[in-house]
Structure 1
Amino acid sequence: MSPTTVALAILLLGVLALVGIAVRAYSKTAQKLFLPVSLIAGFIALIVGPQVLGRLGGWLGWDGLTEGGLFGAEVMSVWSEIPGLLISVVFAALFLGSAIPSPKRAVTLLGPQLSLGFTFASGQYVIGMLLAVLILVPLFNVSPMFGALIEIGFEGGHGTAAGMAPVMTELGFEEGGDLALVMATVGILSGVIVGVIAVNWAARRGHSETLDVKSNQDPEIAQGFYHRDQPSGGAQTVRSESLDTLTLHIGIIAVAIIIGQGILSGLQAVEQWLWADSIEIFAYVPLFPLAMLGGVIIQLVADKTGLANLIDRGTMERIQGLALDTLIIAALATLSLDAIANNIGPFAILAIAGIAWNVFVLFFLAPRFIQSYWFERGIADFGQSMGVTATGLLLLRMADPKQESPAYEAFGYKQLAFEPFFGGGLVTAASIPLIVQLGPYPLLIVMAVVLVGSILTGLFYFGKRDTFVVKSMR
Structure 2
Amino acid sequence: MSLQIVGFSIIILAALLVIGKLIRLKVPILQKLFLPTSLIGGFLALLLGPEVLGKLTGDGFLNAGLFTDQMVEVWAGLPELLINVVFACLFIGFVLPKPKKMWRIGGPQIALGYTMSWAQYAIGILLAITVLTPLLGLSPAAGALIEIGFVGGHGTAAGLQSTFEELGFAEGYDLAIGLATVGILSGVIVGMIMVNWAARNGKSKTLHHPDEISFEQQTGIINKEHRKSAGTKTTSSLSIEPFALHLGLIGISIFIGFVLLEILVWLEAVTYGEAFGIYLFEYVPLFPFAMIGGLLVQLFLSRFDRHELVDRDTINTIQGVALDFLIISAMASLSLQVIGENIIAFILLAVAGIVLNTFLFLYLGPKMIPSYWFERGIGDFGQSTGVAATGIMLMRIVDSENKSPALNAFGYKQILFEPMVGGGLVTAASVPFIIQFGAVPVLIGVTLLTIAFWLLGTLYFGKMKESD
TM-score by length of 1: 0.96
2:208 to 200, 209, 212: 212
Distance 1:247 1:466, change over 3 A: farther
Q: Aligned equivalents of 1:205 and 1:148: distance in 2?
A: 36
Q: Aligned equivalents of 1:79 and 1:216: distance in 2?
A: 39
Say which SS state the counterpart of residue 309 (structure 1) adopts: coil
The answer to whether 1:187 aligns with 2:183 is yes
| Equivalent pairs, count | 465
Q: Aligned equivalents of 2:86 and 2:107: distance in 1?
A: 26
Please list the CA deviations of residues 248-277 of structure 1 after superposition, one character each: whole Å capped at 9, or x if unmatched: 000000000000001000100100010113
Task: Quote the residue 1:440 is aligned against.
Answer: 439
The answer to whether 1:115 aligns with 2:111 is yes
The answer to whether 1:100 aligns with 2:96 is yes
Is this contact kept in 1: 2:370–2:461, CA < 8 A?
Answer: no
Identity %: 50
Q: Aligned equivalents of 1:158 and 1:287: distance in 2?
A: 16
Shift of 1:388: 1.6
The equivalences for 1:287-436 within 5 A come to: 287-307=286-306, 309-436=308-435
Is this contact kept in 2: 1:302–1:308, CA < 8 A?
Answer: no
Distance 1:143 1:426, change over 3 A: same
CA-based RMSD: 1.2
The answer to whether 1:52 aligns with 2:52 is yes
The answer to whether 1:19 aligns with 2:19 is yes
Shift of 1:107: 1.9
Say which SS state the counterpart of residue 387 (structure 1) adopts: helix
The range that moved more, 457-466 or 248-257, is 457-466
Structure 1 runs of 4+ aligned residues shifted over 4 Å read none
The answer to whether 1:147 aligns with 2:143 is yes
Q: Aligned equivalents of 1:438 and 1:218: distance in 2?
A: 50
Shift of 1:308: 7.5
Distance 1:30 1:449, change over 3 A: same
Distance 1:4 1:306, change over 3 A: closer
Say which SS state the counterpart of residue 133 (structure 2) adopts: helix
Shift of 1:236: 1.2
1:161 to 150, 157, 161: 157
Shift of 1:442: 2.3
Q: Aligned equivalents of 2:383 and 2:439: distance in 1?
A: 25
Is this contact kept in 2: 1:216–1:399, CA < 8 A?
Answer: no
Shift of 1:446: 1.7
The one-letter code matched in structure 1 to 2:227 is Q
Q: Aligned equivalents of 1:467 and 1:23: distance in 2?
A: 45
Q: Aligned equivalents of 1:116 and 1:351: distance in 2?
A: 20
Please list the CA deviations of residues 268-309 of structure 1 after superposition, one character each: whole Å capped at 9, or x if unmatched: 010001011320000100000000000001111111224472
Q: Aligned equivalents of 1:465 and 1:95: distance in 2?
A: 30
TM-score by length of 2: 0.97
Is this contact kept in 2: 1:100–1:299, CA < 8 A?
Answer: no
Shift of 1:135: 2.0
The equivalences for 1:218-237 within 5 A come to: 218-228=214-224, 229-237=226-234
The answer to whether 1:258 aligns with 2:255 is yes
Task: Quote the residue 1:472 is aligned against.
Answer: none
Say which SS state the counterpart of residue 146 (structure 2) adopts: helix
Say which SS state the counterpart of residue 94 (structure 1) adopts: coil
Is this contact kept in 2: 1:100–1:300, CA < 8 A?
Answer: no
Distance 1:153 1:307, change over 3 A: farther
Is this contact kept in 1: 2:106–2:408, CA < 8 A?
Answer: no
Q: Aligned equivalents of 2:270 and 2:169: distance in 1?
A: 27
Q: Aligned equivalents of 2:103 and 2:211: distance in 1?
A: 32
Is this contact kept in 1: 2:195–2:210, CA < 8 A?
Answer: no
1:271 to 259, 265, 268: 268
Shift of 1:69: 1.7
Q: Please, which runs of 5 or more residues in structure 2 have no aligned partner?
A: none
The answer to whether 1:90 aligns with 2:86 is yes
Q: Aligned equivalents of 1:28 and 1:387: distance in 2?
A: 21
The range that moved more, 436-445 or 255-264, is 436-445
The answer to whether 1:29 aligns with 2:25 is no
Is this contact kept in 2: 1:215–1:398, CA < 8 A?
Answer: no
Q: Aligned equivalents of 1:200 and 1:351: distance in 2?
A: 23
Shift of 1:215: 5.1
The one-letter code matched in structure 1 to 2:22 is A
Please list the CA deviations of residues 147-199 of structure 1 after superposition, one character each: whole Å capped at 9, or x if unmatched: 10000000001111111111101110111100000000000001100111111
Shift of 1:35: 0.6
